[in-house]
Structure 1
Amino acid sequence: MTATARHRHARRRAAAIALATALSGAIHAPEARAEGPLAFSDLVALKDGADACWVRDYDNAHLARHPDQTVTRMALSLDVFHDSDPQTPSLGFLLTARRRGGDGEPGAVGRCQQRDDGVACYAECDGGGFLLRRASSPGAILLDMRHVGWLRLHDCDETEGDTPRNPPLTPGKDDAVFRLDAAPMARCTGP
């Protein structure tokens, strides 16, 4: 399955789950533990089909305090699946970001892996990555761009790729670490 097909499948699946989530009002949020690295189980229930969402819409006041921040909105969804080993869960992600002066809300898809310092996520087709860490606020996570140093926000098989209006996301002065808050899945799937 191509990255575009997986992305479309993930969005359709997420939309169906979003309806069920909205009806139940359930939001999975990391436990408010103050110590230790973030683990898969802190993020989402480890069963096939489980998912979770974190979003942040940066308001004008925040952006005025951080004039070098290019990201105006970020959404991260995670979903659990099992490959060949039913005992070992895998974690997939979809991250979208809207930027000042950018076109739309491009995204990246990939897989995450448990590490000693948190949950590391890597985009498909050598598209860079990020590290998820524990935040001090209950229900929030930190997305750290400094782990890999860049993230390509488009599908592997797109012909246009990186453009001046859609460059890779890099950890600039105000774009290095993002706090995202737990949200209903509908906030990650968009319209």
Structure 2
Amino acid sequence: MKLALILPLVLAGFVGAARAEEADDIREATKAEADTFNARMYAGRPGDKAYACFVRRYDAEHLARHPKQKVASMKLLISAEVDKEDKQLHNSFRLGFRYRHRSGDFDSSGSCNHAVFTKDGTETRLGCGVDCEGGGIGVALSKDDRSAIVRLARVRVWQNNKPDDDAERSLVAGADDGIFRLDRTDTSECASLVTDRKELAALRHK
């Protein structure tokens, strides 16, 4: 995929990346770079289908140190699947979270592409976007691959998995909601993010 096509998704997913001049610091990942990142993300070659789940539940001590943080807990499911038509591996994301001072479960989802940030080295990340200018997230991995680093400026979300205009909201980065470190865990922890029965069965067998 051409960089001109993936760049809007990538830029939407990273804090501070909305300025046009920063596009010079981003390039499309090569196949080798994308394959290396996928192997890290899915703890091995992904094959035709793979999943990676990351979760964080913030305790009272953490929230006390970050009084402006709006998010109380967050789950991230990254999925890879080979498309039957183009035979290429495609990545996507599902994000679920709960607010600190608001009831209900909120979620978002979209497609992802690989990009390399060259300003401070050559770090490969996923730039994930929500359709119809819904913003997005950026996903990097910690050096030991045990955590996902999620960056966002704004991402469209829905409450209780209801894709309608009345339920639609956005999670907007504030003083303490721009970067989240989520810990890798068993994929069953992200089962609540999956609504398709066949996919849920596949997830539980991973």
Q: Same fold (TM over 0.5)?
A: yes
Counterparts of 1:24-173 in structure 2, within 5 Å, are 39-44=37-42, 45-83=45-83, 84-86=85-87, 88-117=88-117, 118-136=125-143, 138-145=145-152, 149-154=153-158, 157-162=163-168, 167-173=169-175
Partner Cα separation in structure 2 for residue 100 and residue 112 of structure 1: 27
Cα offset for 1:151? 0.5
Using the alignment, how far apart are the partners of 2:50 and 2:182 within structure 1?
A: 19
Deviation at 1:68, TM superposition (A): 0.5
Matched with 1:185 is 187
- Partners in 2 of 1:128 and 1:102 — Cα distance? 22
Q: Provide closer, same or farther for how the CA distance between residues 137 and 69 of structure 1 changes in structure 2, counting only shifts above 3 A.
A: farther
Quote how far apart the aligned CAs of 1:138 are: 4.5
- Determine the structure 2 residue equivalent to 1:21: none
In 1, distance between residues paired with 2:155 and 2:67?
21
Higher strand share: 2
C-alpha distance 64-113 of structure 1, shift in aligned 2 (>3 A): same
1:169: how far off? Answer: 0.9
Instruction: Give the secondary-structure state (helix, strand or coil) at the position aligned to 1:61.
Output: helix
Shift >4 Å, 4+ stretches? none
Structure 2: 5+ residue runs without aligned partners?
1-32, 118-124, 194-206
Q: What does residue 33 of structure 1 align with? A: none
Query: TM-score by structure 2 length?
Result: 0.65
Decide whether aligned partners of structure 1 residues 46 and 136 sit closer, same or farther in structure 2, where only a CA change above 3 A counts. Answer: closer
- Residue 186 of structure 1 deviates from its aligned partner by 1.5
Percent same amino acid among aligned pairs?
28
C-alpha contact (below 8 Å) 2:63/2:69 kept by paired residues: yes
TM-superposed deviation, 1:185: 1.2
Letter in 2 for 1:158: D
1:73 deviates by 0.5
What CA distance in whole angstroms lies between the structure 2 residues aligned with 1:140 and 1:73? 15
**How many equivalent residue pairs?**
148
Does structure 1 retain, via aligned residues, the 8 Å contact 2:49–2:82? no
| Structure-2 separation of matches of 1:130 and 1:92 | 11
Q: Cα 1:52–1:134, aligned 2, differ >3 Å: closer, same or farther?
A: closer
Aligned mates of 1:156, 1:128 — CA distance in 2: 18
Contact 1:54/1:77 (8 A) holds in 2: yes
